[in-house]
Chain A
Amino acid sequence: MILKIVKHVLLDILRSRIVLAYTVFLAAASIGLFNMDADTGKSLASILSMVLMLVPLTSLIFATIHYYNSYEFIELLSTQPLRRGTILLGEYLGVSLALGLALLAGVGLPVAAYDSSLTGGCILLAGLLLTFSFTALAFLGAVCSRDKARGMGMAMLQWFFFALLYDGLLLLVLFTFQDYPLEKAVIALVALNPIDLARTFVMLQMDVSALMGMTGAVMQEFLGSRLGMTFTLGVLTLWIAAPLGLALRVFRKKDL
């Protein structure tokens, strides 16, 4: 049954052309960035920045709008002999798969065409995980509020916090406590923000020469082995599962 919902939502979204516009924009930006510079390494750094900014924003806003727009459909489904979890999960998978496909086409194809290095693959994987994570966060925000304006505000706030504010705060913390050993703390703080996790994951591939310049046994172990990549990927998966689980919980008990 869930597959039917996913299919319905996915096709509905793909027909709406907003996702098509998103794909085209991503593709145009990626190709533009690759053409701007002969050195694909520099273009990849720019694409990483774009993905880290744009993917959370689009996922949050699109998923929130989609949830409120299909509220009546969700209500209709609720009258059917369906479990609520199935309904929300179907909606979630439909939206995140659509956005993930857009990312794969818009960024994945240009990256594969211009620079088929491991770094490009890492950026793509990070982008996909961010899509799933922020769609889940958007659903969590949306199910908590009946009012569309409030839900949108919530989405914007989440983006502002994770994409901008958090790094500023992190920098502030690092400078305030610079006299203390911060290696473990900084890894813990990075784990509290999915965007930072995705960034670190790509950095472990792209800038490992610089990262290996850091002192301290913790860092050497974290950066030198596959431990860092496993850690960032693992916690990013948690950042998908936790908000999704919470959203399902709220949705089950919710008075529609």
Chain B
Amino acid sequence: MKRRLAALSLLLAPLAAGAAVLEAGAGGAHPTLRGAIAAAKPGDTVRVRSGTYREGQISVDKPLVLEGVGRPVLDGEFKHPILRVAANGVTVRGFRIINGGRSSTQELAGVFVDQARDFVIEHNELRDCDYSIYLSKSGPGIVSENILHGLSDLEINSGNGIHLWSCKGVRVRGNRVTGHRDGIYLEHASASAMEENSVENNMRYGLHFMFSNDSLYRANRFTRNGAGVAVMYSRAVIMRDNVFDQNWGSSSYGLLIKDVTDSEVTGNLFDRNSTGLYSQGATRVRYEGNHFRENGWALRIMSNGSSNRFTANTFTRNSFDVGTNGDLADHEFARNYWDRYEGYDLRHDGTGDVPFRPVSLFAILTERVPASLFLMHSFMVRLLDRAEKAFPSVTPDSVIDSTPAMRPHPPPTALIPASQPTQHQP
């Protein structure tokens, strides 16, 4: 009998030691979350019962699974940063984290991941935190399916929604981010992936992306953010199947590309932005299969870039197709569909027989004197454009599509359905 028991305990020992489950909360063995974490051993699971926990900053300093049951609330009372993850292999799941502390000198966050690896932050809801999720010198790890809402309801300048500083290999997937300064912010965050996030109504950029090489962002939706999305000073970035819409304002873009090299922008939809895509100092960037619809300017390309290729994009109902400040030598345009194209296809190869120049004289005039925008659709302007088309003298020779497509290309495949009903029907 004794031997049997010994054998049983031997069998159970690793199980018990490896994955004990601790119950935290009223009525459990550990009434406070802090107490439960202190009592847990590495590898344990702490199940947190529903209720409100006001325990200041809670630090997780060993590999644990923190699991909220019935969405317990961690309240920072506008005084403390709330959860700090400072160990590898921590999972935080199913919490509602609210009222984070604010500071003008420190960056306080709802969930702060500090130099940790293999973390999972998922299915949480964060509200009214300065920074919602702040990752510093961490990764690889996953941030997924969280709902983040910043301080904008309180009319206070908020921090960023998901903030990555000096990270590597972080995956950000399926989050909803609203009401922050920047929705998702990456600085020195290489090899990261952002997928299927929905980023709306943030005060500055939906996605702010700097010095983050070898990254992918795919199938995200960026709507009505102050200045759209900015991707800067990065190499080998893949931007695919995203939607950029309704970013309006004098310096607002769907996508701003600045000093980006060897990257690709494919299959995105740019819908109703003041400027769909603004490119400055881009080198060897491939733009393919994007749709530009009802933007003020579909493209604005500054002449300091080189070796960029625009192929098989579709331009419809934009007030201007391409704006530029000079000559775009070393840019290639091919097989794009331009709804302003008036040529013919006698060869029946699907591309027009006469080339198309997407920069109109009027686009150059407005680049020089923005107020002349008021003359759009004027008969005078049409006359000038016609004359320029017949005898080009001002518009740059280099911006020319020698094989314009006769029909629109099929719309981007992986479009997420609109989160809210839009005003216009396509």
Determine if chain A interacts with chain B.
Answer: yes
Q: Which residues of A contact B (CB under 8 A)?
A: 37, 39, 41-42, 45, 48-49, 52-53, 117, 163-164, 167-168, 170-171, 174-175, 178, 182-183, 185-187, 190, 196, 199-200, 202-203, 207-216, 219-220
Are B369's CB and A178's CB within 8 A?
A: yes
CB distance from B388 to the nearest CB of A (A): 14
Extra contacts, 13 of them, besides A212-B248, A213-B274 (Cβ < 8 A), are A164-B380, A167-B375, A167-B379, A167-B380, A170-B375, A171-B372, A171-B375, A183-B371, A203-B374, A210-B319, A212-B250, A214-B371, A219-B250
Q: A171-B372, A186-B371 are in contact. Are A211 and B380 (CB under 8 A)?
A: no
Give the interface residue-count category, chain B.
Answer: 35 or more
Cα(A253)–Cα(B275), bound, Å: 56
Are B375's CB and A207's CB within 8 A?
A: no
Q: What 3 A-B pairs come out closest when comparing CB atoms? A: A210-B296, A210-B319, A167-B380
Cα(A83)–Cα(B62), bound, Å: 98
Q: A42-B339, A52-B377 are in contact. Are A182 and B369 (CB under 8 A)?
A: yes
Residues facing A in B364-384 (CB within 8 A) are: 365, 368-382
Contacts of A117 in B (CB 8 A): 424
Residues facing A in B220-255 (CB within 8 A) are: 248-252
Cα(A109)–Cα(B379), bound, Å: 25
Are A167's CB and B294's CB within 8 A?
A: no
CB distance from B340 to the nearest CB of A (A): 8
Cα(A187)–Cα(B379), bound, Å: 19
Most buried by B among A45, A183, A185, A212: A212
Q: A212-B249, A213-B250 are in contact. Are A171 and B380 (CB under 8 A)?
A: yes
Are A45's CB and B371's CB within 8 A?
A: no
User: Which residue on chain B has the smallest CB distance to residue A42?
Assistant: B339
Cα(A182)–Cα(B375), bound, Å: 14
Instruction: Tell whether B32 is near chain A: CB-to-CB under 8 Å.
Output: no
* Pick from A41, A178, A199: contact of B368, CB under 8 Å: A178
Most buried by A among B320, B368, B377, B381: B377
Contacts of B320 in A (CB 8 A): 210
Some 20 contacts from A to B, beta carbons below 8 A apart, are A42-B339, A49-B379, A167-B375, A167-B378, A170-B375, A171-B375, A196-B374, A203-B376, A207-B319, A209-B272, A210-B274, A212-B248, A212-B250, A212-B252, A212-B296, A213-B252, A214-B250, A215-B251, A215-B370, A216-B250
Instruction: Tell whether B84 is near chain A: CB-to-CB under 8 Å.
Output: no
Instruction: Tell whether B309 is near chain A: CB-to-CB under 8 Å.
Output: no
Instruction: Tell whether B316 is near chain A: CB-to-CB under 8 Å.
Output: yes
Instruction: Tell whether B137 is near chain A: CB-to-CB under 8 Å.
Output: no
Q: A175-B369, A190-B374, A214-B370 are in contact. Are A209 and B274 (CB under 8 A)?
A: yes
Q: A39-B339, A196-B378 are in contact. Are A211 and B373 (CB under 8 A)?
A: yes
CB distance from B286 to the nearest CB of A (A): 25
Are B379's CB and A52's CB within 8 A?
A: yes
Are A199's CB and B377's CB within 8 A?
A: yes
Instruction: Tell whether B360 is near chain A: CB-to-CB under 8 Å.
Output: no
Instruction: Tell whether B261 is near chain A: CB-to-CB under 8 Å.
Output: no
* Pick from A164, A174, A199, A207: contact of B296, CB under 8 Å: A207
Are B317's CB and A210's CB within 8 A?
A: no
Contacts of A196 in B (CB 8 A): 374, 378
Instruction: Tell whether B99 is near chain A: CB-to-CB under 8 Å.
Output: no
Are A174's CB and B371's CB within 8 A?
A: yes
User: Which residue on chain B has the smallest CB distance to residue A181?
Assistant: B371
Are B374's CB and A200's CB within 8 A?
A: yes
Are B376's CB and A182's CB within 8 A?
A: no
Contacts of A215 in B (CB 8 A): 250-251, 370
